[in-house]
Chain A
Amino acid sequence: MSATPALTAPRRRGNTGIALSRRAGMVFVLPALILFAVFIAYPLFTALSYSFFGWTGILRGDFVGIENYVTLFTKLPYSEDIPNAFVHNILLFFGAMVFQNTVGLGLASLLHRLSRFKRFFQTMYTLPYLVSPLVIGYLWSLMLSPLFGPVNAVLRGIGLGELAQPWLGNPQTAIWVVVLVTAWQWIGFPVLLYGAALGGIPEEIDEAASLDGASAWQRFRSITLPMLVPAIGTVSVLTFIGAMEAFPIPYALGGSQGNPAGATDVLSLLFYRTAFESGSSNAIGTSSAIATLLFIFIFGISMLITMLLRRAERKLF
């Protein structure tokens, strides 16, 4: 039998034109894989495994199954704190969404038409985003102080004294302060992202539509908006993750207990309290259960939003 050259040639040949054996390929992937395993996969699975055990201080006790998870939903303070904090996380998400997709998008389209000072304003709007959120939260708490804060002083100075109030001391206003400060800090992000997306829309389409007699609103509604859907999707998912993980701003404005009276409590604060300020010797078990639930929720919903948006995009184009 004569060997055919085709059979002796390497079987795996990608369209890159480079032939690599599986083993050599693995060697190249290995560094990244090790980093991923050590810094992401390992802690992730440790937290998961920790949440199934009882703990005495730092000594691992018996396997307790889902008991730590049951505790979260049946025992005080968790059974009250979790729904309370969760609602605030959701408020943060919707508040930020509304703010970014109205004010953020509006600013981005205004800036898009601007020929001069565009960069300047973009930078201005992005500045708060570059400052640590802990610092932002602290500055706002100073500004809103009923004793020494300038906000109430200005309100009184311009004759709006009735509006002056303890912004962070009233549960009805405190959570909205957190929502608005978060949205305020983040505003530069949608401005940048939407700005880039707007720049990517070919002007010819817009021109053709206006030649056909479409009004400005019609052009925005039928051309700009649909073409922005991918950007809106990205902003939504990132906002969702940001809102669910919110920690520094609520912490700076309301402390680890979500003051006043739990009005600014969020899930990460609950995790922080349980893990680092708890009097319970099973702190590791309970806090690991919170961390695991939070991760599953963020991961699941983010995947869902992405899937839905992909489907919507496919319909559009």
Chain B
Amino acid sequence: MMRRRILTAAALLTGSALLLSACAPSASSGDEQASGDAVTLKVWSWRTEDVEAYNKIFDVFEEEHPNITVEFEAFQNTEYNQILTTGLAGSDGPDVPMVRAYGQLQPNIEAGQLEPIDGKVEGLDGIAPSVIAGAKGKADGKTYAVPLATQTLQMFYNKQIFEDQGLEVPTTWDEFIDVQEKLLAAGITPMALGAKDDWILPIFADIVGSARYGGSEFEEQVLSGETDFNDPDYVASLGIITEMEKYLTSDVVGVSYTDSQIQFSSGQAAQFPGGSFEIATFRNQAPDLEFGSYQVPVPDDAVLDAPVSPAYADGNFAINSKSTHQDEAVELLNWLATPEFGQLVADELNQFSAIPGVEYEDAAMQEAWSNYEDGQAPYLLLVDFRYGEPLGTAVLGQQVQKMFLGETDAAGAAAALQTGISQWFVPGE
């Protein structure tokens, strides 16, 4: 019994190793099929919930490009990375895979699995720099993919509660604090936040603090090594978190992200600092909920003089370098970079397209998008500091929890973040 159990233990432990061994590099086998006129492109994605929408979208493409048929296949999100790695290493992988962005894209690029698309695909110039950065190789600076969607970060608010309490969307820092105080006095939780899930915390930090530390200006300086995260402006931006604590869900570190979503969508909290990906969730959870969004106003002494929405790219389409239909794949990627596809992303997928010039039917989406166009910033730790271990987002998430628990302060959290990313980050590279 026991021995068998030990063997099971060995099997379990090594089961994970088996997963890894499945990633073992295998020789390429060029299954050359001279492409005649009719070509089928295999497109892979992790968006199992969007299969119908994508089929509709690619119908439009097929109509305009009668020689190409697109075969869209979606896999479980949590298993996608492994499936894709195996698919790209083998011979029957996708021609055009949906790939992750920023740091998570690098393993595929470094392994030479994706084809650079500089000079082959047009329409990438209008895309925001922090978004197209998600499709580039860190080492060679080449572009490997067309960004699919953008996520923007902002403060959502419950219109009904604001109306009942006679509140207006704040445009100055004083008004912002005033709104929170009035809500608190009325016995309403001002902001719903689930700090038990660490990943939401760097998002929260940037929503309230990006303008304070200087958004993309600070990004430039920290990447070049002119400054680091111990910068007084960055420390002060983390200080805002402590200032906000009394306005957040009580017992905030014990509350999960999903609980905080329910708190907002059920009207128990007036505001929700979150990403544009929340809009669909709120619409599902509470179809009658009237909500809007705003950019947190600029605090005193802020580096920027106007508010911003931090943003990042979410998903890319790339070309498998082993694909035997390179020309057709380039044709498809060119189409994926057109406003026509961007509009389909908006209408069919309810996402922000990375391509400029798209209109959004959903009022909350249009509002968040216009705000973003007025003031853009990178979601700094995701855009630039997820290229090594430990991830910047993971370090700050844990540090903010410690701030809430009283185990550290803003300066300590910033110092820990600097120490963490220094393990792999070299400024100026």
Contacts and interface: CB of A to CB of B under 8 A. Distances in A.
B20 A50 contact: yes
B9 A58 contact: no
A291 B16 contact: yes
Contact of B196 (A241, A259, A299): A259
B401 interface: yes
A182 B59 CA distance: 51
Contact of B259 (A56, A76, A148, A273): A148
Interface string A149-167: 0000000000000000111
Contact of A145 (B11, B89, B255, B405): B255
Interface stretch (A12-20, A102-110, A122-130, A276-284): A276-284
Interface string B399-426: 0011001010000000000011001100
Contacts of B196: 168-169, 254-255, 259-260
Contacts of A58: 23-25, 85, 89, 107, 111
B21 A59 contact: no
B287 to A, nearest CB: 21
B20 A46 contact: yes
A259 B6 contact: no
B156 interface: no
A298 B8 CA distance: 12
Nearest to B386: A279
B355 interface: no
Contacts of A278: 389, 391
A261 interface: yes
Contacts of B197: 255, 259
Contacts of A284: 20, 23
A306 B96 CA distance: 54
A101 interface: no
Contacts of B120: none
B110 A286 contact: no
Interface string A72-103: 00011100000000000000000000000000
Nearest to B103: A279
Interface in A249-280: 254-255, 257, 259-262, 271, 273-280
Interface string B82-118: 0001000100000000000001101111111000000
A39 B18 CA distance: 8
A291 B199 CA distance: 25
Contacts of B255: 145-147, 166, 169
A24 to B, nearest CB: 26
Interface in B1-56: 1-2, 5-7, 9-21, 23-25
B126 to A, nearest CB: 28
B6 A286 contact: no
Contacts of B423: 75-77
B309 interface: no
B17 A50 contact: yes
A60 B25 contact: yes
A226 interface: no
Contacts of B249: 147
Contact of A257 (B11, B19, B198, B262): B198
A257 B198 CA distance: 8
A59 B17 contact: no
A146 B198 contact: no
Contacts of A273: 394
Residue with the greatest number of chain A CB neighbours at <10 A, chosen from B106, B389, B402: B389
B252 A281 contact: no
B26 to A, nearest CB: 10
Given A241-B6, A279-B387, A262 B14 contact: no
B129 interface: no
Contacts of A298: 9, 13
A158 B7 CA distance: 48
A27 B386 CA distance: 53
B104 A279 contact: yes
A306 B254 contact: no
A281 B197 CA distance: 25
A166 B104 CA distance: 34
Nearest to A299: B6
Contacts of B13: 44, 245, 291, 294-295, 298
A47 B20 contact: yes
B81 interface: yes
Given A44-B10, A245-B9, A280 B388 contact: yes
B401 A259 contact: yes
A255 B198 contact: yes
Contacts of A262: 398
A234 interface: yes
A185 interface: no
Contacts of A279: 103-104, 386-391, 424
A59 B109 CA distance: 11
B420 A77 contact: yes
B388 A257 contact: no
B376 to A, nearest CB: 24
A259 B198 contact: yes
Given A241-B9, A274-B389, A261 B256 contact: no
Contacts of A291: 13-14, 16-17
A141 B195 CA distance: 14
A244 to B, nearest CB: 8
A54 to B, nearest CB: 12
A43 B110 contact: no
B333 to A, nearest CB: 22
Interface in B239-255: 249-255
B389 A77 contact: yes
A145 B259 contact: yes
Given A146-B251, A255-B198, A237 B388 contact: no
Given A257-B398, A281-B107, A295-B10, A288 B254 contact: no
Nearest to B108: A57
Given A40-B10, A44-B14, A58-B25, A169 B20 contact: no
A281 B25 contact: no
B5 A170 contact: no
Interface of A: 39-40, 42-44, 46-47, 50, 56-60, 75-77, 141, 144-148, 165-171, 234, 237-238, 241, 245, 254-255, 257, 259-262, 271, 273-281, 283-284, 286-288, 291, 294-295, 298-299, 302, 306
15 contacts: A44-B14, A57-B106, A58-B111, A166-B255, A169-B196, A170-B254, A234-B1, A237-B2, A245-B13, A261-B398, A261-B401, A279-B104, A291-B13, A291-B16, A298-B13
Given A47-B16, A261-B405, 4 more contacts: A47-B21, A77-B423, A167-B254, A283-B389
- Pick the 7 closest A-B CB pairs, nearest first: A166-B254, A169-B254, A47-B17, A57-B107, A280-B389, A169-B253, A166-B251
